[in-house]
Amino acid sequence: MTLQRPAVLTDDFMRDLVARVPSTSGGTWKLTEVYTGEHLVDLPQSTPADIERAFATAREAQRAWAATPLRRRLAVFKRAHEIFVANALTTADLIQAESGKNRRMAVEESCDPPMVMSHYLKRAPRLLAPKRHGGPVPVVSHSTEIRQPKGVVGIIAPWNFPFATGISDAIPALMAGNAVVLKPDNKTALSPLHGIAMLEQAGLPKGLFQVVCGEGPDVGPTLIDNASYVMFTGSTATGRTIGERAGRNLIGACLELGGKNPQVVLDDVDADEWVASTLFGVFGNTGQICMHIERIYLPDSRYDELKQKFVRATAALDVRASYDFGPEVGSLVSVDQMHRVLSHVEDAVAKGARVLTGGRPRPDLGPAFFDPTVLEGVTTDMLCGVTETFGPVVALHRYRSVDEAVALANDTDYGLNASVWGGDLERAQAVAARIESGNVNVNDALATAYASKSTPSGGVKQSGVGARHGDQGLLKYTDVQNLAVLKKQVLGPRPGQDYDAYVKQMLSGLRMMRRTRLR
Ligand code: NAD
């Protein structure tokens, strides 16, 4: 197979990108092009001492950055927005090479940081402005809520959206006056490194945004022990390890974890719209979107019709390696991930599930390709019945009543994303409200919730703690200083006043405060 790699991905370009990763040991990791398995660049690996030095440099740069007026900090992101948009296609080339995803998904990912910048450029001035409140005694006291940066935020990012999780999650942290030390996945370090170079081109001070690389268990402990806050995106198992360590260190952590996301299709659904959107919701990013759909519940009355349409459309998907917009589905991220997906399908088939289409690796297309797969007859004793497959595999289920569908959708330890489809929007929204999930999309699979940057987005149950986006997505990177001022010392009895009289006065004051608008 001959594949034309984009001309911009020269050896020099990639060597320049990885040059900012500190490594005194000289150890490297072979970063490869997923479509072909060919070597792209040697990625330096950071030792604990390298990580500590990265934090020291970031801490130093953070002091000056926090003292920079917010207006000037935000000006960097106004310029960065332009630069990111102008370079979106180069970013997409890097994302495709290191992750194997198709072009549409890579371009959409390259747009995520500009969307986040745009949102917080408008919102940050209000969120970060000191807010004055009344104090305990009206008129003579007040308190001001002051938002201070936490210091140096450690970000640990996965491979499935390396640019979005590595850069977008750093933007509100930086705007709030923090420094960042990022640990990307080794497989997908190039696009976030490119993002940092673009931020510096826009004027972000050198040293403020550091990158350290290595295997998670090697880098994680030193990173968490030096961080003022941890932003983690990845699997539930790793999230638990990160959360434990952050808890021991008494620092905050936002944990964005896995899912086993359900979709409930109501009997008044528009079949064609549902099929088109759900193909993306299931197979977008080759099924490696944390919010993608792995379980579909179809009404008994329309099961055969909907199944037939969905299976036919799945079988017709164009799956290939290419840096152009042709293929609708790309590769899985690695041969390991392909084996994980295969093991889920084999386990399901061995226990009685039926493959309606797909179900096999495609070595003819590249080392980590897997056919888009639809299963039927999946039960909770199968791996893919309860745990996240994280690949292009979905199970169809039949339900007889909406109550049964809701109960089945909620029968999971996860609660990241869900989708409800129906012609009657009010009815569909009422069903959506009954699903235990941090995100629920009505008449869409996932993109509407994810792209709604004004609303916090996170998981419930085993899918996470905290959220990105919305006010919370920026405020989590700040500590609150409660600056309280008493203009005259009136707390306590006046000179000569006995305690009984003082208590009486205080209690009547409490009643008065309840009745007046003064606080
Ligand atoms: P992972 O947990 O294996 O790895 C995520 C990151 O953590 C990587 O950078 C990895 O090197 C690092 N890591 C691994 N072990 C570590 C340790 N002990 N200490 C510190 N860091 C460690 O997850 P993955 O396989 O890279 O990503 C896929 C998972 O991420 C899926 O479960 C997916 O659902 C989830 N995800 C969730 C969201 C979300 O927003 N909820 C978004 C994207 C991906």
Average pLDDT over residues 28-54: 98
Within 13 Å and on the Cβ side, how many CA atoms surround 487? 8
Confidence of residue 459 (pLDDT cuts 50, 70, 90): very high
Q: Which of 21, 101, 160, 231 to mutate to test the pocket of ligand 1 (most atoms within 8 A of CB)?
A: 160
Phi, psi of 171 (to 5 degrees): -60, -55
Contact between residue 441 and residue 417 where contact means Cβ atoms under 8 Å apart:
yes
Residues 339, 363 contacting (CB under 8 angstroms): no
Question: What does the DSSP 8-state code read for residue 370?
Answer: B
pLDDT, tens digit, for every residue of 47-79? Answer: 999 999 999 999 999 999 999 999 999 999 999
**Nearest ligand 1 atom, CA 238:** 2
Q: What was the pLDDT predicted at 514?
A: 85
Active-site entry in 98, 108, 109, 256:
256
CA 319 remoteness from chain centre: 26
Q: What is the mean pLDDT of residues 42-51?
A: 98
Separation of 156 CA from ligand 1 center, angstroms? 8
Please determine, for residue 336, whether its predicted confidence score (pLDDT) is greater than 60: yes
Whether 481 and 148 have beta carbons less than 8 Å apart is answered as: yes
Mutate to test the pocket of ligand 1, among 101, 112, 116, 156 (most ligand atoms within 8 A of CB): 156
In the chain, what percentage of residues exceed pLDDT 70? 99
Q: What is the mean pLDDT of the chain?
A: 97
Q: What is the pLDDT of residues 187-213, one digit of tens each?
A: 999 999 999 999 999 999 999 999 999
**Distant-in-sequence, close-in-space partners of 408: CB < 8 Å, separation ≥ 6:** 262, 295, 297, 397, 399
Beta strand 229-233 with 141-149: parallel, antiparallel or unpaired? unpaired
Protein residue with its CA nearest to atom 26 in ligand 1: 158
Residue 392: predicted pLDDT: 98
Cα–Cα–Cα angle for 315, 318, 324, rounded to 5 degrees: 165
Average pLDDT rounded to a whole number, residues 432-456: 97
Residue 456 backbone dihedrals phi, psi, to 5 degrees: -60, 140
Q: 96 is written with which tokens?
A: 């495709």
CA of 465 to the centre of ligand 1 (A): 14
CATH code reported for the domain at 261-452? 3.40.309.10
Domain segments of the chain: what residues? 11-127+134-256, 261-452, 487-513
For the CA of 290, the closest atom of ligand 1 is 34
Question: Token pair of 326, please?
Answer: 């042709």
Does the pLDDT value for residue 519 go beyond 70? no
> Which pLDDT band, with edges at 50, 70 and 90, does 290 fall under?
very high
Query: Which residues have C-beta within 8 Å of that of residue 459, sequence separation ≥ 6?
Result: 256, 257, 259, 414, 415, 416, 437, 438
Which of residues 514 and 460 earns the better pLDDT score?
460
For 11-127+134-256, CATH gives: 3.40.605.10
Contacts of 448 (CB under 8 A, 6+ apart): 441
pLDDT, residue 518, reads: 61
pTM greater than 0.85 (yes/no): yes
Q: Tens digit of pLDDT for each residue in 115-139?
A: 999 999 999 999 999 999 999 888 9
Give which of 163, 202, 152, 190 is closest to 39, Cα–Cα: 190
Kindly list the protein residues whose Cβ atom lies closer than 6 A to any atom of ligand 1: 156-161, 183, 185, 216-217, 220, 233-235, 238, 241-242, 256-259, 290, 388, 390, 416, 459, 464
- 32: pLDDT strictly greater than 90: yes
- From the alpha carbon of 219, which atom of ligand 1 is closest? 20
- pLDDT at site 491: 84
- Give, in order, the Cα–Cα distances in Å from 303 to each of 267, 299, 393, 413: 9, 6, 18, 26
What letter represents residue 1's amino acid?
M
Give yes or no for residue 230 having a pLDDT over 60. Answer: yes
Residue range 452-463: average pLDDT?
98
Tell me the per-residue pLDDT of 147-172, one tens digit each, with 9 for 90 and over. Answer: 999 999 999 999 999 999 999 999 99
User: Is the pLDDT confidence value at 318 over 60?
Assistant: yes
pLDDT at 509: 87
- Residue 257: per-residue pLDDT: 98
Q: Is 305 a catalytic residue?
A: no
Separation CA 395–CA 414 (nearest Å): 16
Ligand 1: residue whose CA is nearest its atom 19: 220
Range 321-335 average pLDDT? 98
The reported pLDDT for the residue numbered 361 is 98
Q: Name every residue whose Cβ is closer than 8 Å to that of residue 99 and which is 6 or more positions away in sequence.
A: 34, 106, 159, 160, 162, 187, 188, 333
Evaluate if residue 113 carries a pLDDT over 70.
yes
pLDDT computed for residue 1 by the predictor:
52
Tell me what pLDDT residue 512 has. 87
